[in-house]
A and B are shown apart, each in its own frame.
Chain A
Amino acid sequence: MLAIQYKAAQSLDEAVTLLATTAGARALAGGHTLLLEPTRSQLGAATLVDLGKIQGLNDIGFTRTGALRIGAMTTIAALADNADIQRDLPALAEAASQVGDPQVRNWATLGGSLADNDPESDLTAVLLALDAQLHLQGPNGTRAVAADQFITGPRQTALTQGELITDVRIPIVGGGSAYEKFKHPATLYALCGVAAHVSLIDGKVGACRVAVTGATEYATRLTGVEAALAGQEPTAEAIAAASEAASGLAFRGDPFGSPEYRAHLTRVLVQRAVTRAVERAR
């Protein structure tokens, strides 16, 4: 028998205290990863600390410096439907609209998804490409961590014991972004997903960030591709040549896609994502 305790935190402080002081405490957001664990016999005796009752964790709005601030408990469906995100950060809206199915999108949250850091998550690659900052609160106070530093390995993050993601801030810096996905046929996660953000200066690629998920052990920036694109006129030939730099990575394999196939998909989707990001940047 599983002995699972449930506590609904009324405030962030209470949630942080409960998580820090209760043995076996786990934060419950949308529950899509956590609640699979009993069927996988991974969840032993646990105390679930529900974050759903905490006010203000699902707001979306601009900061005074013009970044978009998205509360950690925002559902994936709300990300997909938000007009500011659709206009300013289309890669994020595209990725959110392709997560799982409607039931999943209506429950799963941005913060839960990032804390889980599934190797095939759609959102991790997008946040890497959009240079997002994650704001965390824990027993030792608050801190901000860049997405690059937040993702530390397969299903590993910079979160420490008792620490929660409170919100994500994404700078609005112009340019264009796009997300391209090859759905994993069994899970609807990304067998391969590529997010790109491109700014143009005088018709040439200025700042450029490209990241892949699903194909590698964890979501990863494609710095070789970024370097190959920088300063180039983004012609079809130049983008195709740059996609070849998506190599030298440790690609994953499973019965639905060998490492070689995932490497191939990465090159194809880099071209498609960068091409669309460039179109939007023009």
Chain B
Amino acid sequence: MRAIGSSLPRGDAVGKVVGATPYSGDLSMPGMLHAVTLFARRPHARILALDLGEAGRVPGVVCILTAADVPHNRFGLNVPDQPVLCGPGDDEHASRVRFVGDKVAVVVAETVEAAERARALIRVEYEALPVVPNPVAARQTGAPVLHAAHPDNVLLHYRVRKGDTLAGFAQADVVVEGEYSVGGQEHAFLQPEAGLAWLDEEGRVAVACAGQWAHEEQEQIAHALRLPDERVRVIHPAIGGAFGGREDISVQIVLALAAQKTGRPVKMVWTREESIIGHHKRHPMTYRCRTGATRDGRLVAAEVELVSDCGAYASTSTKVLGNATIMAVGPYDIPHVSIDAYTVYTNNVPSGAFRGFGAPQSHFAAESQMNKLAAALGMDPVELRLKNALRDGSLQVTQAPMPAGVSMDHVIEQCAESIGWRRTAQGWQRPAAAQPDSPWLRRGIGFAAAFKNIGFSFGYREHCWATVEIHGGGDIDRVVVRCAGSDVGQGAHLAFQQIAAEALGIEAEKVEIVSADTATTPGSSGSASASRMTFMAGNAIRGAAEKALAMWRDEEDRPVIATYEFNPPATTPMDDMGRSTPNFTYGYVAEAVEAEIDTETGEVRVRRVVCADDVGRAVNPQQVTGQIEGAVVQAQGWATIENFVQRDGLVLTPHLSTYLIPTVRDIPDRVDSIIVEVPDPLGPFGARGMAEMPFIPFAPALTAALHDATGVWFDHLPLTPVRVLETLDEQA
């Protein structure tokens, strides 16, 4: 049996299901201290004074960390603009809190109870500052400046000019205009943030904490503590989900600092509420779009202005904005395009990485435009998409050709056929949904497609490191793969195992994965994000395995050890016209949704979803299906019931009883996962990344289904029953 293409079971499954696997919050050490965080819990204020006197006298308190204790009081994944701790003792920037989850102090004590008692006794004198509640307010003249380096509160503006939109719109027979808005989203991973830090046997500050990119976390901790990277060790224990929500630093830096200060192990576990206010969210975005086509359905021009709410700190907002920009007109070849994209500081919880990374927001706008255009042209939406879909060599909005291996038309056709679209002499034809008896219930079928980059973009030097050791005599007995790439719950390590086994021609059981400890996997693998882990680590492991196998055959020494660093083709940043080679490859997906709407109560029920996802080569088909189903459900949550509400910078939904995620009662009645395998020329054994793609087309496919059912367009997410009713009434 070949290792690749087999649905091998997950080695970590039983331990996780029976509760035996230790997650970060389960870790303990002798002599361990406990830490709790004092959050600002106000959106914008200056800290005038901090009185620790009474708190410090609580029995059991060992130390209280404040801004004055942080050697270099800044961090951030792309832009170090966030104070580790806010308050007096550092500079003006750090004296202000800019969102409810800014941290003011960390209390370290012998027990959690003592730490909590002391936290309640810390006296903070705040001077309230005017709150910037959204990007519109942030861009008004006279708005409070949140970061001195950006006096207009605009962190970044991208400008794309391809062709001549004036000339393009002049050729258009039909022009569709639309305004869209989408909300934030909480990752709601199973395991809230937690970690344990200590000084290890080599005197390093060791931090065991769930993350997505051990070497980046090591670098950020070292930066804040002013230590050389190698004096910091990051270990990822079992990780209880991530979805981008663990890209940013949470407890790591303050725990490292506490361990360094006290010389003792220190543990911190955030509550669910602290997790929800403490880590970043998906970007809320607004769009204004114009799209023009000729009568025969040829797209000629598109114009988009999009604004993303960056929140209080940059996080990955600049990168998300880049993605949102190049996907703002969807997966189509359009000769004349103009895009202006802005990400704007506010006093909201920072926005950052979340499955799809800007692609779901932009595709909601772009694919809604396509559905409206199809209606305006009297053309089937699948027909219109196939006429304009990106193909090998099509020019992107950045004017670079698409990388080889584009399968957009292929996934569109497979998805459409599977839910009942018919090819007729007049072209593709949408199936009619069977209507229930109750007159207030209407059903419809909708369609959308998407593309999404695999790997880091815009000139980032993408690379991934792996070492393969082959043990044995004449035959291979055992193989050790060292690769730092994180298994955040998505099954990456099983994919590593299967790829190594395939490259070496052995059974997967003989492969052992050593991972996610900067002390034992010294080379970086990059983040478990951007649908890149299987693609990047797969290539690195394959390279190392092939090199090791050649040594195994040529040399006498045992074991053989080979290291390989995979470097994909270089990308480039956008210039002032948006010209660039943004990415080295993409994944392609199409989705059809059958939905039912109660036109009297506003309830929306998803009956069936068909997702055709080109994964290049399914390393483990069962795991691929799991990713598709999980992404569809998560997207359904974003589109319907997940309603992250912030008012004047305050989070009104800080619990899972007020911020609802789909349960088994809410999920679609049926999800058909269609695994398409058009090999990626650059992928390991043809595999593409796929973890984000099935999320992306869901929302516009759902609103297309609701339009099919009611004749009404739904342009604003989430589709809470109240919003659905209001929209029906407005367009009645």
Contacts and interface: CB of A to CB of B under 8 A. Distances in A.
A185 B641 CA distance: 9
Contact of A258 (B645, B658, B722): B722
A182 B603 contact: yes
B173 interface: no
A187 B663 CA distance: 12
Given A185-B641, A265-B601, A268-B600, A255 B658 contact: yes
A255 B654 CA distance: 12
A264 B722 CA distance: 10
B641 A257 contact: no
Given A255-B653, A264-B725, A186 B660 contact: yes
A255 B722 contact: no
Given A186-B658, A255-B658, A261 B722 contact: yes
Contacts of B600: 268
B426 interface: no
Contacts of A258: 722
B657 interface: yes
Interface in A144-189: 182, 185-188
B653 A182 contact: no
Size bracket of the B interface: 10 to 19
B652 interface: yes
Nearest to B726: A261
Interface string A77-95: 0000000000000000000
Interface string B636-657: 0000010001000000110001
Contact of A255 (B601, B645, B665, B721): B645
Residue in B601, B645, B665 with the greatest tally of chain A CB atoms within 10 Å = B601
Interface in B679-732: 721-722, 725
A244 to B, nearest CB: 14
Nearest to A188: B665
B653 A257 contact: no
Interface string A243-275: 000000000000101100100110010000000
Contacts of B722: 257-258, 261
Interface string B615-644: 000000000000000000000000001000
B728 to A, nearest CB: 12
A186 B603 contact: no
Main secondary structure of the interface of B (DSSP, over half): loop
A182 B725 CA distance: 14
Contacts of A188: 665
B578 to A, nearest CB: 41
Contacts of B652: 255
A29 B513 CA distance: 52
Interface string B585-610: 00000000000000011010000000
B399 to A, nearest CB: 46
A4 B658 CA distance: 31
Nearest to A192: B601
A188 B664 CA distance: 13
A140 to B, nearest CB: 40
B169 to A, nearest CB: 41
B663 to A, nearest CB: 9
A185 B660 contact: yes
A121 B181 CA distance: 36
Contacts of B665: 101, 188
A264 B602 CA distance: 11
Which of B645, B652, B722 gathers most chain A CB within 10 Å?
A: B722
Nearest to B641: A185
Contacts of A101: 665
Nearest to B643: A255
A188 B660 CA distance: 12
Nearest to B602: A261
Contacts of B657: 186-187
A157 B228 CA distance: 68
Contacts of A268: 600-601
A132 to B, nearest CB: 28
A104 to B, nearest CB: 13
Q: Report which residue of A182, A185, A186, A257 has the largest number of chain B beta carbons within 10 angstroms of its beta carbon.
A: A185
B601 A182 contact: yes
Contacts of A187: 657
A36 to B, nearest CB: 12
Interface of B: 600-601, 603, 641, 645, 652-653, 657-658, 660, 665, 721-722, 725
20 contacts: A101-B665, A182-B601, A182-B603, A185-B641, A186-B657, A186-B658, A186-B660, A187-B657, A188-B665, A255-B645, A255-B652, A255-B658, A257-B722, A258-B722, A261-B721, A261-B722, A261-B725, A264-B725, A265-B601, A268-B600
- Shortest Cβ-Cβ A-B pairs, 9 listed: A268-B600, A186-B657, A261-B722, A185-B660, A186-B660, A182-B601, A255-B658, A268-B601, A185-B641
Given A185-B641, A185-B660, A264-B725, 18 more contacts: A182-B601, A182-B603, A186-B657, A186-B658, A186-B660, A187-B657, A188-B665, A255-B645, A255-B652, A255-B653, A255-B658, A257-B722, A258-B722, A261-B721, A261-B722, A261-B725, A265-B601, A268-B600
